[in-house]
Structure 1
Amino acid sequence: MTSSEDTSGTKWAALGPDASSLTSASKPAFAIAEGQRELRLDLFRGLALWLIYIDHVSPDRLTWFTVRNYGFSDAAEIFIYISGFTAALVYGRATFETGFVIGTARVLRRVWQIYTAHLLLFLVLMAEIAYVVAISDKPAFYIGEMEVADFFKEPGPVMIQTLLLRFRPLNMDVLPLYIVLMAFLPLVFLLARLHRDLPLFASIVLYVLTIRYDLHLTTYRDGFWSFNPCGWQLLFVFGAWCALGGGRRLSPILDSPLVFWLAVTYLCAAFFVTLTWYIPALESFIPGWLARLIYPINKTDFDILRFAHFLSLAVVALRFVPGGWRGLKSPLARPLILCGQYSLQIFALGVALSFAGYAILTELDAGLVLHVIVGIGGILVMCGAARIFTWYKRSTTVRERAKPVVFDLTVQTR
Structure 2
Amino acid sequence: MLALAKGQRELRLDLFRGLALWLIYIDHVSPDLLTWVTIRNYGFSDAAEVFIFISGFTAALVYGRATFEAGFVTGTARVLRRVWQIYTAHLLLFLVLMAEIAFVTSVSEKPAFYIQEMEVGDFFRQPGSEIIQALFLRFRPLNMDVLPLYVVLMAFLPLVLLVARLHRDLPLACSVALYILTLRYDLHLSTYPDGFWSFNPYAWQLLFVFGAWCALGGGKRLSPILNSRAVFWLALAYLCAAFFVTMTWYFPSLERLIPGWLARLIYPIDKTDFDILRFAHFLALAVVVLRFVPGDWAELRSAWARPLILCGQYSLQIFALGVALSFAGYALLTELDAGVVLHVLIGAAGILMLYSVAWVFSWYKWAMSGRERAKTNTSELITQSA
1:123 equivalent in structure 2: 95
2:281 equivalent in structure 1: 309
Whether 2:336 is the aligned partner of 1:364: answer: yes
2:54 equivalent in structure 1: 82
The sequence identity of aligned pairs, in percent, is 78
Matched residue type, 2:220? R
Match of 1:69 among 41, 47, 54: 41
Matches within 5 A, 1:154-169: 154-169=126-141
2:379 equivalent in structure 1: 405
Matched residue type, 1:405? S
Matched residue type, 1:243? A
Matches within 5 A, 1:12-411: 29-403=1-375, 404-405=378-379
Unaligned stretches of 5+ in structure 2? Answer: none
Quick one: distance in 2 between partners of 1:276 and 1:166? 35
Quick one: distance in 2 between partners of 1:391 and 1:250? 37
TM-score normalised by structure 1 residue count: 0.91
**CA displacement, residues 113-156 of structure 1 (integer Å, 9 cap, x when unaligned):** 00000000000000000000000000000000000001000000
Q: CA deviation at 1:222?
A: 1.2
Unaligned stretches of 5+ in structure 1? Answer: 1-28, 409-414
Matched residue type, 2:88? T
Q: CA deviation at 1:405?
A: 2.4
Structure richer in helix, relative to its length: 2
Quick one: distance in 2 between partners of 1:255 and 1:347? 32
Quick one: distance in 1 between partners of 2:194 and 2:110? 27
Quick one: distance in 2 between partners of 1:255 and 1:133? 53
Quick one: distance in 2 between partners of 1:222 and 1:323? 46
Kindly report structure 1 stretches of 4+ aligned residues shifted beyond 2 Å.
404-408
Matched residue type, 1:337? I
Quick one: distance in 1 between partners of 2:125 and 2:155? 32
- Cα RMSD of the aligned pairs, angstroms, is 0.8
Q: Which moved more, 1:397-406 or 1:53-62?
A: 397-406
Matched residue type, 2:268? P
**CA displacement, residues 37-77 of structure 1 (integer Å, 9 cap, x when unaligned):** 00000000000000000000000000000000000000000
Q: CA deviation at 1:297?
A: 0.1
Quick one: distance in 1 between partners of 2:94 and 2:374? 39
TM-score normalised by structure 2 residue count: 0.98
Quick one: distance in 2 between partners of 1:94 and 1:278? 48
Quick one: distance in 2 between partners of 1:323 and 1:47? 17
Quick one: distance in 2 between partners of 1:181 and 1:174? 11
Quick one: distance in 1 between partners of 2:122 and 2:77? 36
Give the SS at the match of 1:405. helix
Matched residue type, 2:90? H
Give the SS at the match of 2:236. helix
Give the SS at the match of 1:37. coil
Q: CA deviation at 1:401?
A: 1.3
**CA displacement, residues 83-112 of structure 1 (integer Å, 9 cap, x when unaligned):** 000000000000011100000000000000
Quick one: distance in 1 between partners of 2:310 and 2:318? 10
Q: CA deviation at 1:196?
A: 0.3
